[in-house]
Amino acid sequence: GSKLPSIKIKHEDIKKKILRTIGNPTDRFVQDPVRMIRLLKFRARFSFSIDSRASQALHGCQEEILKSSPARILEETFKMLESGASKPFFQLMVESGLMKHLYPALDHFLKGKYAEGVYSHLHAADELYHSHNGQPLDRAVLTSCLIYPILLKEIDYQFLDKGVTPTLGEIFVLRHTLIRGFVT
Per-residue pLDDT at 46 exceeds 80: yes
The Cα-based distances of 61 to 29, 96, 98 in angstroms read: 7, 11, 9
Per-residue pLDDT at 4 exceeds 70: no
Per-residue pLDDT at 8 exceeds 70: no
pLDDT score for 183: 73
| Average pLDDT of the segment spanning 70-78 | 94
pLDDT score for 56: 97
pLDDT score for 42: 93
The Cα-based distances of 11 to 8, 14, 18, 19, 51 in angstroms read: 10, 5, 10, 11, 15
| Average pLDDT of the segment spanning 152-166 | 96
For 64-121, give the secondary structure using H, E and C: HHHHCCHHHHHHHHHHHHCCCCHHHHHHHHHHHCHHHHHCHHHHHHHCCCCHHHHHHH
| Average pLDDT of the segment spanning 21-28 | 94
| Average pLDDT of the segment spanning 50-73 | 96
Cα distance between residue 112 and residue 128, in whole Å: 26
For residue range 122-154, list pLDDT tens digits in order. 999 999 999 999 999 999 999 999 999 999 999
How much is the pTM?
A: 0.86
